Amino acid sequence: MSENEKGTQFDLRYVAGLARLELSDDEVATFEPQLQDILTYMEKLDEVDVSGIEPTAHANPVLNVTRADASRPSLEAEDALRNGPKTTSDQFVVPKVVE
């Protein structure tokens, strides 16, 4: 096995570990060439001249679809606090979690 192949196998096992995947030796043997093909293709994309192209986040324009910001009636404090296990002075009482 060449040094490059050892490095790729190490990287494959490392990435699998980050994804919390346990790969068998057979799976490494299957996925290693596939990963190498993907990396080779990515290197090929690096050769494309994109100097005159504006960066984009999406291929198609994406617009936010939001409702108008208008005030409307909300719950009364008494109604909102009704389901709380413990309340005082129009507030929920919760255990202290920060010291």
Model-wide pTM > 0.85: no
Which residue ranges in the chain fall short of pLDDT 70? 1-10
CATH 1.10.20 fits 3-46, yes or no: yes
N- to C-terminal Cα separation, the chain: 55
Q: Tens digit of pLDDT for each residue in 9-33?
A: 568 888 899 999 999 999 999 998 8
- 88 touches 95 (CB < 8 A): no
- Give the type of residue at 8: T
Residue whose tokens read 């939001």: 66
